[in-house]
Amino acid sequence: MKVGFFLREALRSMGRNAVPSFAAMASVLVTVLVLGVFIPVVQATTGAANDVRNRVLVNVYLKTSAKQPDVQRVRQLLTSRVAHVGKLQYVSKEQAYAEQKRRFPDAYQLLGSNPLPDTFRVTPDKPDNALKLRDALSPSTPGGGRTTIDPAIDSVRNSKDDTQKILVATKVVKLTTGLLAVLLVVASILLVSNTIRLSMFSRRREVEVMKLVGATDWFIRWPFVIEGVVLGALGGALAILLLLVGKIALLDPLTAQFSLLAAPNTIHFGMLVAVLLAAAVGVSAAGSGLSLRRFLRV
């Protein structure tokens, strides 16, 4: 049997059952529309959380009496002997003084000498390893205090409370967005499947008669699967059209005025269209095939 036959049967079935077909297409449209907004939002939120996590630093302050050989020794120590070191930035006392003087000119105007030390700003290989890196550079002593692994190091600081708050907050954001994504996908599949099942339930007598006269399961199933694919494609296409209109009319003008909206690195709109269309067709086809299974048990 040719594909054209199944396609004609699917279109004829959609015409005879316009209300359930429209309900299925509307379900796909709403699902794809929500996914189309949710995917970039999740990416932007996750990207912002990762950006905040990547700003976690461990500052290694050298003693004011440290000389250039001491600086080189500590640099070698950080790059070769200490674990969890990602990015390393050296800020000399002169650079630190010039930076602080630009930020607080009045406070530094009366200073006769430079009180700032040479500093290594260490970015951990992973944000979660910030406290481990701090402990490696400044281990605890039996008396409850802290020492340093090199005599030229004066102190190691990373704002423990702030670091823990950042790590916990960003982890909660990631887990929440991930859970919402899973729930949305599951809800979308159930919604489409149940809507198509209602459409098939209205034609259960027709399916029973075809089974009784000897039609195979796939002969009966293919028109419904194709109907699901067509409804999914129509609903997905309409949702993508609405998203495109919203992007051109609302998002693009705001992006040009507010640079913050352009900052997140999200999926390209063309790739988003392909993902949404494939999801709409795939979920609709799977939902129609699974929903029909119970009606084939005659």
Is residue 109 domain-resident?
A: yes
Whether residues 241 and 200 share a domain: the answer is yes
Evaluate whether residue 11 is within a structural domain: yes
Position 233 in a domain: yes
10: in domain: yes
* Rounded Cα–Cα distance for residues 272 and 266 (Å): 10
**For the segment 11-67, what is each residue's pLDDT rounded down to a tens digit?**
776 776 677 777 777 877 887 887 787 777 777 776 666 666 666 788 899 998 888
Q: What DSSP assignment string belongs to 2-20? A: -HHHHHHHHHHHHHHTHHH
Q: What is the pLDDT of residues 95-106, one digit of tens each?
A: 888 887 787 776
Note whether 28 and 126 are same-domain residues. Answer: no
* Gap between the Cα atoms of 266 and 279, Å rounded: 18
- 0.75 exceeded by pTM: no
Q: Are 240 and 36 in contact (CB under 8 A)?
A: yes
pLDDT, tens digit (0-9, with 9 covering 90-100), for 137-164? 888 888 778 888 889 999 888 755 565 6
Q: How confident is the model at residue 72 (pLDDT cuts 50, 70, 90)?
A: very high
Judge if 47 and 173 occupy the same domain.
yes
285 and 177 within one domain: yes
In a domain, 7, yes or no: yes
Of the residues 123, 139, 157, the one at which a domain ends: 157
Domain identity same for 185 and 227: yes
Let me know whether 177 and 274 are in one domain: yes
Residues 255 and 279 in one domain: yes
| 216 lies in the same domain as 93 | no
Domain membership of residue 30 (yes or no) is yes
Same domain? For 120 and 64 the reply is yes
* 45 shares its domain with 67: no
pLDDT digit string, tens, across residues 271-285: 888 888 888 887 777
What's the longest Cα–Cα distance across the chain?
A: 102
Q: Higher model confidence: residue 113 or residue 233?
A: 233
| Whether residues 129 and 203 fall in one domain | no
For residues 45 and 235, which has the higher predicted lDDT (pLDDT)? 235
Task: Kindly give, in sequence order, each residue whose CB lies less than 8 Å from that of residue 63, ignoring residues fewer than 6 positions away.
Answer: 70, 117, 152, 153, 154
162 part of a folded domain = no
Q: Which of 127, 157, 187 is the last residue of a domain?
A: 157
Same domain, 68 and 189: no
What percentage of residues in the chain have a pLDDT greater than 70?
70
Task: Answer with the one of 122, 157, 192 that is the final residue of a domain.
Answer: 157
Residue 88 belongs to domain with CATH number: 3.30.70.3040
Domain residue limits at 214: 3-52+167-296
If one counts the domains in the chain, the total is 2
